[in-house]
């Protein structure tokens, strides 16, 4: 009996929405150029793009954002000599859960150092959170939508998260399992198996763990689209064809050199480091926001950008994972910021900031020459 020949089925690729798909790459180029101009100490504004001047957007590379920078420098590569690898895993998970620098600083001040699993065991970690909450009034950032049910029987959200951490690190040996995980996807699946950690939060936390020297997987091995990225995907494509959202994000990773060259857009990456899955995922979220001004006819669940951009003064010191082997060793120091004019909403109005309809035309017009 002869075997039948294997049948190869050609998968239907995503179909870009003309203009908006190009805007994805244009945004990446302009936002990264503004980031680089800021680093070299150039005078604000660092871009001619009126939408970028007016509204706040995340960096193109997730690792360059303020909270991620703090996590990498002060948590993942913190100088607490008493912390073991297991403690570091707990610290990264705990930090990302709250995602608030002030909470971390407050807790470490109360404990006299980074929180360790022993602090979780004795109750010192929970008491430190209580003190910080009493002082600041809040422990969490608004950047992530967290599961807020009473999974561990408490009325207060942070007590349920303490219960979660005890369950993970004292009862289920989560730290050891993270350190022994065979892939990034397995780390995500492990985290997602616990209460209060949804799929996207598990993915974000896994990326933070992967910034550290605890594990080392390619960020292109696995990705996951968050709610904002799903909105951006719907705007950038008329259909995803036979691709899933995650596959489409990795499809963008593969096409980056081709598309920047096709559109004549300058893009040198992060000191030579190309876009990875987590970055392209985030760019879809930022595209969704950008399109609310540039292409308002593409409606979604959200119709406006809430945060206005205000330039801050002072030098910046960036720190990236040493294992990335960036040309500068991962440390970037920048001069102080120079402002032509106060970067306030009032001064922008005084300069005659274009109306919303004009900004949309300015942003899209040059896409078609």
Predicted confidence (pLDDT) per residue in 251-301, tens digit = 999 999 999 999 999 999 999 999 999 999 999 999 999 999 999 988 765
Determine the pLDDT at residue 70. Answer: 96
Which residues lie across from 273 on neighbouring strands? Answer: 270
8 Å CB contact between 164 and 171: no
Among 214-223, 246-255, 315-324, 339-348, the range scoring the smallest mean pLDDT is: 339-348
Beta-sheet pairing, 237-239 with 317-319: unpaired
Indicate whether 36 pLDDT > 50. yes
8 Å CB contact between 209 and 187: yes
Cβ atoms within 10 Å, residue 20: 22
8 Å CB contact between 290 and 231: no
Higher-scoring residue by pLDDT: 131, 11: 131
8 Å CB contact between 214 and 178: yes
Average pLDDT over residues 132-160: 82
Place of tokens 């407050």: 106
Average pLDDT over residues 357-368: 40
Indicate whether 213 pLDDT > 60. yes
Average pLDDT over residues 92-99: 96
Q: Could you tell me the two tokens for 116?
A: 């360790």
Q: Distance from CA of residue 207 to its chain's centroid?
A: 9
pLDDT bin (cut points 50, 70, 90) of residue 314 is low
pLDDT bin (cut points 50, 70, 90) of residue 146 is low
Indicate whether 2 pLDDT > 60. no
Determine the pLDDT at residue 22. Answer: 98
Q: What is the mean pLDDT of the chain?
A: 86
Indicate whether 80 pLDDT > 50. yes
Q: What is the rounded distance in angstroms from the CA atom of residue 161 to the CA atom of residue 166?
A: 9
Tens digits of residue pLDDT in 169-196: 999 999 999 999 999 999 999 999 999 9
Tens digits of residue pLDDT in 323-361: 999 986 566 666 544 444 433 333 433 334 444 444 444
Virtual torsion, Cα 120, 193, 102, 91, nearest 10 deg = 50
Reference 105, options 59, 63, 136, 81; nearest CA is: 136
**Percent of residues, the chain, with pLDDT higher than 70:** 80
pLDDT bin (cut points 50, 70, 90) of residue 315 is confident
Tens digits of residue pLDDT in 58-75: 999 999 999 999 999 999
Cβ atoms within 10 Å, residue 140: 17
Virtual torsion, Cα 201, 207, 212, 216, nearest 10 deg = 140
Q: What is the rounded distance in angstroms from the CA atom of residue 169 to the CA atom of residue 97?
A: 14
Structure pTM? 0.85
Indicate whether 3 pLDDT > 60. no
Determine the pLDDT at residue 8. Answer: 52
Tens digits of residue pLDDT in 19-35: 999 999 999 999 999 99
Determine the pLDDT at residue 140. Answer: 86
Cβ atoms within 10 Å, residue 360: 20
């Amino acid at each position: 009996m002869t075997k039948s020949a294997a049948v190869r089925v050609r998968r239907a690729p995503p179909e870009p929405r003309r203009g908006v798909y190009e805007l994805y790459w244009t945004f990446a180029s302009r936002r990264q150029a503004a980031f680089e101009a800021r680093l070299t100490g150039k005078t604000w504004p660092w871009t001619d793009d009126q939408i970028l001047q007016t509204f706040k957007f995340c960096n193109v590379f997730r690792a360059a954002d303020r909270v991620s920078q703090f996590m990498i420098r002060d948590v993942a590569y913190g100088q607490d000599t008493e912390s073991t690898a297991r403690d570091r895993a707990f610290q990264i998970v705990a930090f990302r859960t709250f995602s608030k620098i002030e909470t971390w600083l407050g807790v470490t001040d109360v404990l006299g150092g980074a929180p360790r699993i022993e602090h979780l065991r004795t109750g010192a970690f929970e008491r430190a959170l209580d003190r910080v909450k009493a002082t600041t009034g809040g422990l969490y950032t608004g950047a992530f939508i967290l599961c807020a049910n009473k999974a561990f029987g408490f009325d207060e959200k942070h007590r349920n998260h303490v219960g979660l951490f005890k369950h993970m690190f004292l009862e289920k040996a989560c730290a050891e399992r993270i350190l022994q995980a065979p892939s990034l996807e397995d780390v995500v699946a492990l985290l997602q198996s616990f209460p209060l950690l949804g799929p996207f939060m598990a993915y974000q936390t896994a990326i933070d763990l992967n910034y550290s020297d605890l594990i080392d997987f390619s960020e292109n091995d696995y990705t996951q689209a968050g709610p904002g990225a799903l909105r951006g995907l719907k705007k950038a494509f008329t259909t995803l064809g036979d691709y899933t959202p995650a596959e489409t994000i990795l499809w963008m990773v593969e096409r980056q050199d081709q598309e920047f060259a096709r559109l004549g857009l300058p893009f040198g990456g992060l000191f030579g480091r190309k876009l990875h899955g987590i970055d392209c995922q985030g760019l879809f979220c930022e595209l969704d926001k950008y399109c609310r001004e540039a292409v308002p006819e593409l409606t979604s669940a959200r119709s406006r950008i809430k945060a206005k951009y205000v330039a801050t003064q002072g030098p910046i010191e960036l720190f990236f994972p040493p294992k990335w082997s960036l040309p500068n060793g991962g440390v970037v120091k920048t001069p102080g910021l120079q402002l032509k004019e106060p970067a306030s909403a009032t001064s922008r109005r005084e300069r005659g900031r274009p109306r919303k309809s004009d900004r949309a035309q300015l942003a899209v017009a040059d896409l078609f020459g």
